[in-house]
A and B are shown apart, each in its own frame.
Chain A
Amino acid sequence: MKLLAYLRSLLAAVRHRNEEDHDLDEEFLAHIQRHVDDLERSGVPRADAERQARLAFGGYARVKEECREERGGFWFESLWKDVHFALRMLYKNPGFTGVAVITLALGIGANAAIFSVVRGVLLRPLANQDEDRLLYLRQSVTGDDDTAFSVPEIKDIGANLKTIEELGTMSQLDFTVVGLGQPREISAGVADGNYFEVMGLKPVIGRLLNPGDDGPNAAGAVVLTYRFWSTSLQSDPNVLGKTVRLGSFEGTRSATIIGVVEPSVPYPVETQIIANIVTSPHHLSATMVQGRVHRMTEVFARLAPGAELESARAELNTVYAGMLAAHPEVYKPSDHYQITVTRMHDQINSRASTILWVLFAASGLLFVIACSNVANLFLARTVRREPELALRSALGATTAVLRRSLLAEALVLCGTGLLAGVLIAAPMVTVLGRYAARFSVRAVGLTLDSSLLWIGVALALLAAVFLAFVPRLPSADTSKGFGISSSSVRITGGSRRRLRIFAVTQITASFLLLAGAGALLRTLLVLQRTQPPFETAQVLAVNLPVMTDGRTPEQVGEFYREAQRRVATLLGVERVSTGFATPWRDARFLNLGFSFAIQGAQRENALDDPRARFRSVSPGFFETMGVPILQGRDFDEHDRDGAERVVIINQSVAKQLFPGQDPVNRELHWTDPVMRFIGISYEPRRIIAVVPDLDDQNLIPSQAMTIYQPTNQEGWNSRLFVRAKTDPYVLVPAITRTIHEIAADQPVEHASTLNDIRAEVMTPDRLNAVVFGGFASLALLISVVGVAGVLAFSVSGRTREFGIRLALGASPRHVLTDVLVEGLVMATIGVTTGAVVGFLSVRAIAKYTADFQVPGTLPLVASAVLILAAALIASALPAARAARVDAVQALRAE
């Protein structure tokens, strides 16, 4: 009750300040009038009565003040007044205000943006129900530390677990979908009936897969992901019940769309639809069901109620060890098979964690730079205002009151900085989100939310309090050096030292950021300068996914040959060929590599065989790419199924396995156990040609053994490569039309030149450089302002000294050099400290991660030079002012 009344009066006080002020006057004046009336009635003359009444009432303004104080909300009201005062003061100093606000805006904005991303990507819980009980299972083998599971393995591991409620499995597959708009190839997951239950996901409309959808006799069923449904299908609810044809590499099946799953993070790959097992003939094949090393299934698990992660780990390890022991022929002890169990949340964040926290630290550094910079300005200003503050103090203002007025000023600065900061944070979140999407799927749908504002407000308040409490205040004891007597500013040693430390800190931090950014920029430049080993500008790559719908493998092969023939006749087409992987883009296929052996070679066992990248290309591929054949002949129409099996090798194979010999007409054969599952035979193959190394996987070409097979012998078609005489993109409509003439349902997708694909792949590196470069430039900018500010202040404080020196005959150039040297010394100390700190931290980091690049000498030297140059420029202005000091005026000012 009391509290309520208090709050109400407080609120009223703040809200109706003017109104109540008026009321106070009215009440007091009425009081005095009554007293006057009474006095007059008792015979006092009117003029006397008025005087007496006023005297009796006491100090009118003081009473009013006391009443306000009693009424509550007084402190805020005074602060409000201080804010008004501060606004006026800051308005009169646009230079100071502008610099301080911009600096704070950058510091606050960058931090708020990064925090938004960190929160969105790392801290926010997943949408899955009880996400902390959701686990992700992987296994590792020597040479491959992150592998999925095979169906027999899942059966062995998943039986009778006590700590795990249920396992859910899913494997990724590309389906060619007919019946949802244009026929197209989309990334899909093939999941069992427990998958959604384990993942803890609910449908938005319709239903999800359940155990009733398992087994070879179930009807085909498809669940759409929310993203796909809302973006590609415009959230059309009528899509439920629709029948679609799903084509995968072993045949086509029909399926009905049964539901849409709620928005969730796709992991480990982005999938657009999730279908039951019956939709993929491959999943029902013996290869899948019985192949113990056919590992393509992701395993998710849900902890049983009451079970802990550690106990689940222990149980799974035991079960896994049992499985290893039962199949010694597959699990050789030398391969060190291991199972890993992680929380889904941690697994998703694992890649983003480090980089985002590093970024967060970098932005924290930026905030420190910004705050110390503004603190410097603020400190300098307060020192200059000392006479004013001392005067106010002498007139009875308490320390609390002075502090409050400083706080008001800091609040105004930080508040304005916050507004500007939020404005720049919004676009920063977009850039950072794209950047983070490289490490975490969670960053894909990242949006702005109010947390950005809240963190900004918190930072602004923090900065304001810090700023308000940095300057010393005049105390009643004037012996401490403050006083209103001295008209010129004298900087105390303490203040000056603090200013220098702040400035050096800024330089150190900027140097570190700049060196990091320099290293990243260099990486980018190297990438951009590197010439790809084959033609990229004139070559168009088009996705032509396999359509198996009712066609024999021969018919599929014929389709690709026919497509090549017809596209080749188009005007402006120079050469056409097919293959199965687009350079740089199709990372999954480009990664394929198998072990092989050359005929007649001494072999211990299959494990020691060399591995080569596997590529399947049609005749004319090398010509399309503008690569010469060094020895032998290209594939031709006669290299078909049934004919002699042939391969082309690259120079690396020739050099490593046939040193000093002619490899042409020698034979090799695949030895990899995986071959059995992908329909490629172990028969010997004759080498018919040698081509140069053309790395289609890495942006910086490396030498890797590669073996090319003709598409006409064992299939593996899905990409069309067209070398154009003129602008390749002009050809796209004609190519699409031509393909649809052969097969109307055939998807024709993602046409782009190899040049553009390369640029697209380089985007992350560009973003890397942009993000860190942006940070570093901001830091540099702020530091330059900081150094200039400190020097300007130091010069203005030393006006008298300069005046005397000039009067005694020192040349202006001496004074100029003096100030410049002061700036350079600060910069040098900063850079040296930065180099030492950087060196130590690089050594510390190198202990934890191997793939950490030490920035080369060039970026380091360049950043140091840049910083010193910036410091020199920053010192120039104050130095020039110092040299122009008029000796007479400076001395008279004393």
Chain B
Amino acid sequence: MLGLDRRTRRRTGLDQFEGRFGGERRPARGTLITLLLACATLITLDYHGGPDSPLEPARAAVGEVLGPIESATSTAVRPFVAIPDWFHSQSSLRGDVAALEAENSALRRQLETSGLDTQRLAEYDALAKAQRDSGYQLVPARVIAMGPSQAFSRTVTIDAGSDDGITADETVLNNDGLVGRVLRTTTTTATVLLILDADSTVGGRIGSNLEVGFLNGQGKLGQDGNLLLDLVDDSLIPSRDDVVVTWGSQGGAPYVAGIPIGRVTSVMSSPRETSQQAVIEPFVDFGALDLVGVVVPAGTPGNRSLEAAR
């Protein structure tokens, strides 16, 4: 295509002038090489830097600037994107919605159709109830940005940050179950790594027999958005519909204990590794993630926390 293009190109007088004197080609190549080297430098710096990479300050600075803009954009578009939600859900989640609707009580359905505000109130109530059940202080927040699937990592931005008492490595949940953990914060926003991410590992416990294992994300969203559970005890076979909850870490970071994650949908055995792998369908609908809560230590100052609100 390039060769053909060069032959048939109709150039204007000035372009010919530039082309003849090499005024265009050479600098372009020079710029290209400079920029490629800059990219290589950035990648190297960030790759070897790990958590305290020299690019973290740059990330924080860009986050401080773009975070509020993302927040404002999200607030502006929310009323409009809520309209089609009344009529249909996102295509890949229709199956889930059908199953959920069958499960939901008539009362819940009435609530959903009686107005957006009623539904929001119900969400907040459920969150507050989740907090009473789990015994942690929650900071409510909304999802304002989602990383694209083309990035192959599953992260979202929420509209609460260090000003609201959120720090890195805190559990994020919603009223269905575990969402993920906080990776980094700016003053007004926080980046959350979803449990679906291929790099995410959560310690899980099977509700029926208290066996522990590790849940790994697959990096997929939608109908294939499942987690794989590897049990520590290989001899154990999880049964279908067993509920998996978080195992919990010391000091509640990054994951507090007892948060429901999902249920077992199938079990795969691999004879080569003589271990059982269970496929876990998360309770949380990650495609329609909106209101979430961040678990913060009790007594954290901040004007958002549900403790302070009540």
A pairs with B: no
Partner-B contacts on A (CB < 8 A): none
Partner-A contacts on B (CB < 8 A): none
